[in-house]
Amino acid sequence: MVHFKLEAWSAMASGLGSEEDWSAWFSAPSIPDEPIGKEALKQIPAMLRRRFKQSGKCALGAALPILKEGEMIPSIFSSRHGDIEQTLALLEGIGRDEPMSPTGFSLAVHNAISGLFSIVRKDMSEVTTIAASKGLIFQSLFEAIGQLQVSKRVLCVIYDIPLPQPYSISTESDPFPFALAMILNGAAGDPYNLQPCEQSLTDQTSLTGDLNTEALRFIELLTGKTSSMTSSLSGGNWRLVQG
């Protein structure tokens, strides 16, 4: 069993920015049909804001509200697919035999959003980026718990967007753009326990119905709508419980 304490959290999706918004959403889950607007990053200068696509808007829209201005903090940015919009645009350009844009390439790499985050906040703290095909939430938590052995506090930002064609026909993805930001604290905050379990993912129910993804189950737990969640990774099952 491993433990951590959660100092603060924030989740962002279209029309969903506060804990109250998410609590209401879980009462009647649906897929938001509006893109993330520029108001999510209104505090960022327009020249820099133009570099952000949906995933970046979600990631910083979730992270910035829980951080104090000028605060230095090590961070973890986790995404299964990264900024897939930028990646696909580059590949389509290659398919048309067009020259690759250096700026486009720099914004498509997996750590691009974390780099923009550092620029926006002028934060020179260490940054870790994670790409996990399964168990993204739990993989991110384990990395953050490990970093708490040498840091008092760690920011963890988890984000993804639905896969576009042609990728969506071959693998599952999250149903709408989202981001979840958390500050894990080694000394203060709500306590959580991570422990091995026998329960499989098929045994877990959720208020989200057909939108039953790991990220949404975790937000469901954070809002107090459920008391635990499970995930499969590294050949075993793990349960996350508050308290």
How much is the pLDDT for 11?
95
Q: Average pLDDT, stretch 91-112?
A: 87
181, amino acid identity: A
- Please confirm whether the linkage preceding 166 is cis (ω < 30° from 0): yes
Specify the range with the lowest mean pLDDT, choosing from 16-20, 202-206, 211-215. Answer: 202-206
The tokens describing 119, both together, are 């620029």
Domains of the chain in start order, with CATH, are 8-189 (3.40.47.10)
Give the predicted TM-score (pTM) of the model. Answer: 0.89
How much is the pLDDT for 203?
47
How much is the pLDDT for 182?
97
CB 83 within 8 A of CB 55: yes
- Integer Cα distance of 181 and 233 in angstroms: 21
- Integer Cα distance of 203 and 51 in angstroms: 41
- Integer Cα distance of 203 and 193 in angstroms: 20
Which one has a higher pLDDT value, 35 or 149? 149
